[in-house]
A and B are shown apart, each in its own frame.
Chain A
Amino acid sequence: MTNKVRIASASLAGCFGCHMSLLDIDERLIDLVAQIEFDRTPLTDIKQIGSCDVGLIEGGVCNAENVEVLKAFRRHCNILVAVGACAINGGVPAMRNQYSLAECLEEAYLSGSGIDNPQIPSDPELPLLLNQVHPVHEVVWIDYFLPGCPPSADTIFTFLDELLSGRPIQFAYRQIHYD
C-alpha cells in the first residue's frame, strides 16, 4: 500500500481540453506524480473506477452513459471536482438546449447536407442522448468548481497543490476566468 493520493478523471460531454490543460502544467507533473497515483482516467488503462480521494470531471452530462460514469465517480471519490465551463454550466455543448433533441438529430443525421443513407443511429450499444445538456451538479453533489474553458494550467496546479498540502484553496485574480 502506498499513501499516495489517488486521483481519477473523466471527460463526459467534454472536448478533452481540460485534460490538455492539466497536462499543460508540464514538468510540474513529475513532482505531482511523486505525490499522486492515477486511477481511472483517459491517461491510464483502468476501465472501472476504484476508491479514490479526488475525482476530476470534465464536460457536462449529455447522454445516459455520462450519467452512469458520473454517478460511479461520485460513489468512489471523496472529493468530486467539476472542471471547466462544460461541467459547471453545460458550456458550449449546452447551446443545443436552444433546440429540441429531435431537431438536433434530424439536422445531423437526416436533413443536413452531404448525408448518405440518412438514418438516426439506434443501435442499443449507443448511449441515448438526454433531452438537454446538464451541468454535473444537477446530477450529483459537487465539492469544488474550477471555472475556465479550460481552466489554466496554473489554476489546476494551484488547486491540486493546495489540496494536497492541506492549505486553503485560494486563487490569484488572473487564475479565475469563465472563458
Chain B
Amino acid sequence: MSPSFKIDGVTVPFEAGQSIMEAALAAKIYIPHLCHNPEFHPHGSCRLCCVTTDGRSVAACTTPALDGMEVANETHEITTQRRLLLKLLFVEGNHVCPACEKSGACQLQAVAYHCGMLAPEFVHFYPRRAVDASHPETIIDFNRCILCELCVRASREYDKKGVFSIGGRGIQAHLMINSPSGKLGDSRFSAADKAARVCPVGAILPKHRGYEVPIGKRLYDQESISRVGDVAAHQERDHDE
C-alpha cells in the first residue's frame, strides 16, 4: 500500500519525499500559492499555502507529506488568514489592476478572487520605485513585485545567468538587477530567458504588447485559479507555441 494522507478529508496518495503541495497538485487539489512553481525548489515566502496539521500551521510547499497525516486547507480560518496575507501584499505595492497589462491573467489577483478578497482595507504604502525600461524587450515595474523570487530562481537555476536577486532588509527588501548600472538593459537578461516567463504578477512584462486578450477571455475571467492553474504554466505554454 502506498502511503497517503488526507486534505480536508480527501485521501491523497504520495511518494516518499513529496511535499504536501506536490502531492496535492498531483491529486488536483488546489492549495492557494504564489511563490511555488513546481519547476523550482520551494521558497516558502508567500505563506499563502499554509495549511494546518497536527495543530499547527505549516507551509504546504516546504512540509513533507507523512503517512496518515490530516491536513486542513480550505477552512474558514485558513481562508481568512490567506485574505489577510493577500491584503498585506496589495497594500505593500501599487496594484492598480485597472491600469495593469497583467490584469485578468495575474496570479496575485486570481488568488485574491479565489479567497474572496473585496478590498485591501489596510493603509497603503504607495512605494515609489522607478520603473526599469532600459531593456529593449522587457520592462520591470518594481512596485508590483511580490518578492516571490521566481525570477531569481529561474535566472540562477535554469538560465544560469543570475540576473536577479533580492536586496535590502525588511520592508526595504526589493528586486535587484545584477549589472554594473543596476539596469536590466545592461544585464545578461534576454526576453527568451526562463526568468522572463515566471513572474506571477505584472512586475516583469514584455514590452510593446499588452491588452491583447479581450476581456472575458483572459486566463482567470471565467473560472477560478483553482480550476485554471498557475499563470506561469500558461506563459510557458504560450512560449512553446
A residues neighboring B (CB under 8 Å): 82, 85, 88-92, 94-95, 97-98, 132, 134-135, 137-138, 142, 144-147, 149, 173-174, 176-179
Q: How far is the CB of A99 from chain B (nearest CB, A)?
A: 8
Interface segment out of the listed B22-30, B36-44, B57-65, B99-107: B99-107
CA distance A147 to B112 in the complex (A): 12
B128 near A: Cβ within 8 Å? yes
Which residues in B have their C-beta under 8 angstroms from that of A144?
Answer: 118
Residue of B104, B124, B222, B223 with most chain A CB atoms under a 10 A cut-off: B124
- Would you call A178 and B103 a contact (CB within 8 A)? yes
Least Cβ–Cβ distance between B173 and chain A, in angstroms: 20
User: Are B118 and A85 interface neighbours, CB within 8 A?
Assistant: no
Residue B221 CB within 8 A of the other chain: yes
Contact between chains at A94 and B118 (CB < 8 Å): no
Cβ-defined contact, B121 with A137, below 8 A: yes
Question: Chain A residues with Cβ under 8 A from B222's Cβ?
Answer: 174
Contact assessment for A132 and B123 in the assembled complex, using a CB-CB cutoff below 8 Å: no
Is there contact, CB below 8 Å, between B126 and A132?
Answer: yes
Can you spell out 6 A-B residue pairs with CB atoms less than 8 angstroms apart? A89-B91, A89-B119, A95-B96, A97-B94, A98-B128, A178-B103
| Candidates B91, B113, B123, B126; contact of A97 at CB < 8 Å | B126
- Whole-angstrom CA separation of A55 from B119 in the bound complex: 17
Q: Are A82 and B119 in contact (CB under 8 A)?
A: yes
Sort chain B's interface into a size bin: 20 to 34
In the bound complex, residues from chain B placing their C-beta under 8 Å from that of A92 are 96, 98-99
Q: A98-B128, A173-B224, A179-B103 are in contact. Are A91 and B98 (CB under 8 A)?
A: yes
Q: Is the CB of B97 within 8 A of A85?
A: yes
* Extra pairs beyond A89-B119, A92-B99 (12, CB < 8 Å): A85-B97, A88-B119, A90-B124, A91-B98, A94-B126, A97-B94, A145-B119, A149-B97, A176-B113, A176-B118, A179-B98, A179-B103
The answer to whether B118 touches A146 (Cβ under 8 A) is yes
B19 within 8 Å of A (CB atoms): no
Q: A170's closest neighbor in chain B, by CB?
A: B116
A95:B123 contact, CB within 8 angstroms = no
**Within B77-127, which residues are at the interface with A (CB < 8 Å)?**
90-91, 94-100, 103-104, 109, 112-113, 116, 118-121, 123-124, 126
A90 to B94, CA, bound (A): 10
> Shortest distance in angstroms between A28's beta carbon and chain B's nearest beta carbon?
22
Contacts of B128 in A (CB 8 A): 97-98
Q: Which of A89, A134, A137, A144 has the most CB of B within 10 A?
A: A89
| Contact (Cβ within 8 A) B98 A85 | yes
Q: A89-B90, A90-B124, A176-B113 are contacts. A149–B118 as well, Cβ < 8 Å?
A: no
Question: In the bound complex, what is the Cα–Cα distance between A178 and B112 (angstroms)?
Answer: 10
Instruction: Quote the shortest CB–CB distance from A125 to chain B (angstroms).
Output: 29
Write out the residue numbers on chain A whose beta carbons fall within 8 Å of the beta carbon of B123.
138
Chain B residues near A178 (CB-CB < 8 A): 95, 97-98, 103, 109, 112
Q: Which residues of B are found within 8 Å of A137, using beta-carbon distances?
A: 119, 121
CB of A102 to closest CB in B, whole Å: 15
Contact B119 A94 (CB under 8 A): no
Q: Taking the nearest CB of chain B, how far is it from the CB of A145, in angstroms?
A: 4
Measured CB to CB, the nearest residue on chain A to B131 is A98
Known: A173-B224, A179-B103. A89 touches B98 (CB 8 A): no
Residues of A within 8 A of B109 (CB): 178
- The winner among B104, B119, B128 for most chain A CB atoms within 10 A is B119
CA distance A173 to B114 in the complex (A): 8
